[in-house]
Amino acid sequence: MKNLFSNIKGDAFGGITAGIVALPLALAFGVSSGLGPTAGLYGAIFISFFAALFGGTNTQISGPTAPMTAVSMVVISGIIATNDGDLDKALPIILTVFLLGGLMQIGLGALKLGMYIKYIPYPVVSGFMTAIGVIILLTQILPVLGYYPKEDMAYVDTFKTQAKTVALENVLKDEKGENLLVLKHLKATVNRAEHLTAPIILKEATTLAGKKTSGAMGALKAIPRAIQHINWLEFILAIGTIFIIYGFKRITKAIPSTLVALIVMSGIAVGFGLNYKPIDEIPSGLPIPNFEIFTAFKLSSVTPYIFTALTLALLGAIDSLLTSVVADNMTKTKHKPNKELVGQGIGNSIAAIFGGIPGAGATIRTVVNISSGGKTKLSGMIAGVLLFIVLLGLGPIASKIPAAVLAGILITVGIGVMDYKGLKAIPSLPKDLKLGPIKLSSEVLIMLIVLVLSTFWNLVYAVGIGLVIASLIFMKKTGSITANSSTIKPLKEHPSSNEFDFPQQLKEEIYVKHINGPLFFGSTSDFQALANQIPETAKTVILRLEQMPYMDQSGLYAIEDVLQVLKAKGVEVLFVGVLKQPEHIMERIGIIPNFIPNSHIFGSFKASLEWVKLNAKNHY
């Protein structure tokens, strides 16, 4: 507690500044997610405060971020679509998934898995981050142009025929669920189907229109129509916002340009009484917990989204810990990764209960906090309190912000979040992979696969596929390196052979095999070729294992197979320099001492040669 208040002035200024930077982004991310600006603000308040209080990075400012919002957007739209386009019906399930993601983060921290996040390959992270930027850009083009498909009645009307089919299917589904879809009630079912009202059909058509234009691919398909129906006022508000954000930075960075753009463009729209589209109304008063998460909980509703919740947890962990590393570099401190994950999980869990979208450690806001004097957890807590005060006092004013202004802010976020470092490196990375006649970099291939799949298919599966491909390529490379650096030569070609007075024939009958690298499933096939490389005249094989630090189960059985083949040929096998892990695993299944007795295991190559010299008479 003493440390918490050791830098009150710096923490207050850092927290207030970071909170001001967070405000427009929180509103924009909330709108982008599909739950509205209030959800973004609630997420920023609770995650910022509780992640700071319980986390392991003193200067970190947390809240909704671009990657977390992009994944949340997919989750939200998917769950709403499966609930007939009804947000109220879908909301408890959405928030339950967010809560589950937060609890999983707490679990990751409690199990001390934070240290393993660093093993995610850079090409996967790079492709994902660039995809996030592309998704944000594509999905914000329509609001920047002032085009909202659900409000385009001519477009919605094109879905009315399909909407009648969907509405009829819903009638049948409801009656089946209520056990009314039986022969004696068939007339009532037909009557109900015949009296589907125009509002019901319109609602279904509107939902279908929204589905058709959702996501990156849907937005791309809708752009031609959006251009035809461009709202010039909304377009000018969005472009003006973008211009101020980039232009004001050239004047000064002391005041957040995003906040300046928000105030100036909103002031113009409200002051001149322009006919613009405002964001959803932000309710005034205290946030209220959504108890339907618990009262209406159904395991069957949440089960399909378990993997999605895990993805949110892992993404939030990566996002937060990367920001923690940035904070460490700036403050010359060391964060506690597992404690940070617990803090982020608590923040996300509480935010979900109150209806907020999930978030993570935010790099820009953290940098602003540190640069403004923040040094302790108090700064992140102050940022959350500031946003809470804004919610209580400025909710009605914030509700007048033009939607186009937030779209303009998100365009700059999308541009900024892309991994330009990874993109710039594409031409210079070595082309180590050959696909038919084409040579390309394996890392570039992974990045592009994750980028394309994330953008146009599924963020969750794209990362999983990227990890699998990266792992396979890594194992192939490691196996090849082990095979290429390992050698088998007769003793006569070995420099040490001259130190002993061996007959020439003996030198030709002793073979030395070096294994340089781990013996695992990626290198076993090359190792098993050992038996075929040794001529029939061989009497002794010395396996030099000083450079083999690890052996998995595949490697274990591979070496057992080779030893059986050599034993059948009457070849004596000696081990030199067996390390701890391989020795332990070989002892567990009896390779040592059944195949290789302890008398055939040596600490040095010289000792093995001395044994060969003493026992040479057994071979002649």
Residue pLDDT, tens place only, 247-287: 998 888 777 788 888 889 999 999 999 999 988 888 777 88
The 10s digit of each residue's pLDDT in 38-69 is: 999 999 999 999 999 999 999 999 999 988 88
Q: Six-digit token pair at 514?
A: 């070096």
> Which three-class secondary structure string do you get for 188-252?
HHHHHHHCCCHHHHHHHHHHHHHHHCCHHHHHHHHHHHHHHCCCHHHHHHHHHHHHHHHHHHHHC
Backbone φ and ψ of 550, nearest 5°? -145, 145
Span 578-605, average pLDDT: 88
What does the alpha-carbon distance between residue 220 and residue 217 come to, in Å, rounded to a whole number?
5
What does the alpha-carbon distance between residue 130 and residue 132 come to, in Å, rounded to a whole number?
5
Q: Six-digit token pair at 61?
A: 């400012």
Is pLDDT at 1 greater than 60 in this prediction? no
Span 209-221, average pLDDT: 85
Is pLDDT at 238 greater than 90 in this prediction? yes
Least confident of 168-182, 196-210, 360-374, 455-469: 168-182
Chain centre to alpha carbon of residue 238: 30
Nearest CA-CA partner of 543 in 508, 509, 516, 503: 516
Nearest CA-CA partner of 544 in 582, 507, 575, 572: 575
Put the strands of the sheet holding 572-576 in their side by side order: 487-490, 510-514, 540-544, 572-576, 601-602
Q: Half-sphere exposure of residue 118, counting CA atoms within 13 Å on the CB side?
A: 8
Other Cβ atoms within 10 Å of 7 Cβ, number: 18
Least confident of 133-137, 164-168, 579-583: 164-168
Describe the chain by its helix, strand, coil percentages, rounded to 5. 70, 5, 25
The mean of the pLDDT values for the chain is 83
Is pLDDT at 620 greater than 50 in this prediction? no
Is pLDDT at 498 greater than 70 in this prediction? no
The C-alpha angle 49, 55, 58, rounded to 5 degrees, equals 85
Specify the pLDDT at position 104. 95
List, in sequence order, every beta strand (DSSP E) within 371-415: none
Least confident of 130-134, 194-198, 215-219, 369-373: 194-198
Q: How confident is the model at residue 229 (pLDDT cuts 50, 70, 90)?
A: very high
With pLDDT > 90 as the criterion, what percentage of the chain qualifies? 24
Q: Six-digit token pair at 20?
A: 């001001």
The 10s digit of each residue's pLDDT in 468-497 is: 888 888 777 776 766 665 667 776 666 555
Write out the H or E segment, with its range, that includes residue 574: strand 572-576
Q: How confident is the model at residue 195 (pLDDT cuts 50, 70, 90)?
A: low
Is pLDDT at 2 greater than 60 in this prediction? no
Nearest CA-CA partner of 451 in 467, 462, 464, 440: 462
Look at the alpha carbons of 488, 492, 494, 496 in this order and tell me if their dihedral is positive or negative. Answer: positive
CA dihedral 7, 10, 15, 18 (to 10 degrees): -140
Nearest CA-CA partner of 148 in 200, 77, 91, 226: 226
Is pLDDT at 191 greater than 70 in this prediction? no
Is pLDDT at 146 greater than 70 in this prediction? yes
Q: Six-digit token pair at 396?
A: 């009605």
Is the CB of residue 124 less than 8 Å from the CB of residue 473? Answer: no
The one-letter amino acid at 178 = E
Span 563-592, average pLDDT: 87
Q: Is 178 exposed, middle or buried (0-12, 13-18, 19+ CB in 10 A)?
A: exposed
* Beta bridge mates, 433: 440
Which residues touch 161 (CB under 8 Å, ≥6 apart)? none
DSSP result, 484-496: HH-EEEEGGGSGG
CA of 607: how far to CAs of 519, 570, 610, in Å?
A: 24, 22, 5
Is pLDDT at 22 greater than 90 in this prediction? no
Is the CB of residue 496 less than 8 Å from the CB of residue 605? Answer: yes
Nearest CA-CA partner of 529 in 552, 506, 562, 507: 562
Q: Six-digit token pair at 566?
A: 């050599």
What does the alpha-carbon distance between residue 174 and residue 324 come to, in Å, rounded to a whole number?
49
CA of 242: how far to CAs of 58, 237, 251, 411, 444, in Å?
A: 32, 9, 15, 8, 31
Q: Is 547 exposed, middle or buried (0-12, 13-18, 19+ CB in 10 A)?
A: middle
Q: Six-digit token pair at 157?
A: 């009307």
Span 368-391, average pLDDT: 88
Span 391-396, average pLDDT: 82
- Most confident segment among 218-232, 302-316, 520-534: 218-232
Other Cβ atoms within 10 Å of 241 Cβ, number: 29
CA of 244: how far to CAs of 149, 237, 265, 407, 443, in Å?
A: 28, 11, 9, 14, 37
What does the alpha-carbon distance between residue 402 and residue 382 come to, in Å, rounded to a whole number?
27
15: left (phi over 0), alpha (psi -120 to 50) or beta: alpha
Specify the pLDDT at position 216. 85
What does the alpha-carbon distance between residue 94 and residue 352 come to, in Å, rounded to a whole number?
9
Which residues touch 267 (CB under 8 Å, ≥6 apart)? none
Nearest CA-CA partner of 96 in 79, 83, 111, 73: 79
Least confident of 326-335, 417-426, 429-438: 429-438
Q: Six-digit token pair at 620?
A: 């002649």
Q: How confident is the model at residue 388 (pLDDT cuts 50, 70, 90)?
A: very high
Specify the pLDDT at position 355. 93
Is the peptide bond prior to 593 cis by the omega test (within 30 degrees of 0)? yes
Q: How confident is the model at residue 349 (pLDDT cuts 50, 70, 90)?
A: very high
Q: How confident is the model at residue 181 (pLDDT cuts 50, 70, 90)?
A: very low
Is pLDDT at 427 greater than 90 in this prediction? no
Is pLDDT at 302 greater than 80 in this prediction? yes
* Beta bridge mates, 490: 511
Is pLDDT at 539 greater than 90 in this prediction? no
- Global pTM reads 0.76
